[in-house]
Amino acid sequence: MVVAAVVAFTAHNVIAADIARPEVEARLDLADLGAPISAPFLTWLGQRVGAAPGVLDCVLVRYGTGGSAGWAAGPDHLALVPRPDLAAHPRAARARRLRAGVAIYADPDARGLVMLGRGLAGRREVSFEVASEHRGAGLGRRLVAAALTLLPANEPVFAQASPGNAASLRALLAAGFRPIGSEVLFVRS
């Protein structure tokens, strides 16, 4: 369960936590736009809300493309198959911990998973994982592109990736996602 979040945009930060504003401001150098995502502040906030800060993720957005039966347009289209039987997979379990209404899909050969659900502030979110033996061939991009066809055209969909996860960032960028900011979620078990 997400109990707090720090979201950073260009020249703006949002601190969503059940803490009085003066208490939060007393812990920050308000002239430093990076202060809300600094390790000391995130550690303090985590102690204050009783949940450890998660990973600082890059947040990206794209719009659903609409479509039928999970087929992505283009020469390398990919079908997605509903796979609720994979709910115990670590990536799917993580998605269910952070999101509501998670639907799990895979390509027909189960080389990769993609999850769609509702995350922070009820926004539509996508996450994915490619099996290690199938990485480096564009499958991540194809999974994400296929997932976009499952969403109504022009519905925003968000994705998060750790800045150090270059492969996932490349896949999301190649699928047309655009970076809009960063976030740290505080999740209570």
What are the boundaries of each domain within the chain?
2-49, 57-180
Closest CA to 183 of 33, 36, 32: 36
pLDDT in tens, 155-170: 999 999 999 999 999 9
pLDDT in tens, 31-76: 999 999 999 999 999 999 999 999 999 999 999 998 754 444 555 6
Q: Determine the Cα–Cα distance for residues 105 and 171; give it in Å rounded to an integer.
A: 17
pTM of the model: 0.90
The CATH code of domain 57-180 reads 3.40.630.30
- The backbone region for 181, taken as left when phi is positive above 0, alpha when psi lies in -120 to 50, beta otherwise, is left
